[in-house]
Amino acid sequence: MSLVARHLEANGLPTVVMGCAKDIVEYCGVSRFLFSDFPLGNSAGRPFDVESQASTLELALRVLESAPAARTTVQSPLRWREDAAWKLDFSNLERMTPEQIAERRREFDEIKAIARTKREAV
């Protein structure tokens, strides 16, 4: 995405990248970056949390509108959890029981099925 954003910027289209992998996106040198300190894949807000998603979109639009210079990074004030310990535990297979892994897999498969149904309806 970062390389696409750079290409668009080079052709006169302003962009803002929303992401969770700060080191990677900043290394790519995008013009405007909204960093969410969330697990990968959740850069638009918490899943099923319309309020956090709307807040993230609003902030991204403000970054697009008012970034003071190229390569501007703004960090979202939203937090995945108050305690940063989730970073040690999130999808860390070494810290999960086989039952927890199976539950995560079931949840993921359920979400993929929902996405597939929505995609096929289009």
Looking at every residue in the chain, the average pLDDT score rounds to 91
Same domain, 10 and 38: yes
Half-sphere exposure of 86 (CA within 13 A, CB side): 10
Same domain, 34 and 70: yes
Q: Which parts of 1-122 fold into alpha helices (H)?
A: 2-10, 22-28, 50-66, 86-89, 98-121
Same domain, 19 and 60: yes
Q: Considering the domain boundaries, does residue 86 fall inside one?
A: no
Give the global pTM. Answer: 0.73
CA distance 59 to 53: 10
**Residues 7-43 pLDDT 10s:** 999 999 999 999 999 999 999 999 999 999 999 889 9
CA distance 111 to 109: 5
Q: Domain range holding 120?
A: 91-122
Same domain, 115 and 65: no
Q: What confidence score (pLDDT) does residue 85 get? A: 82
> How many structural domains are present in the chain?
2
**Residues 64-117 pLDDT 10s:** 999 988 899 999 999 998 888 888 876 678 888 899 889 989 999 999 999 999
Q: What confidence score (pLDDT) does residue 96 get? A: 85
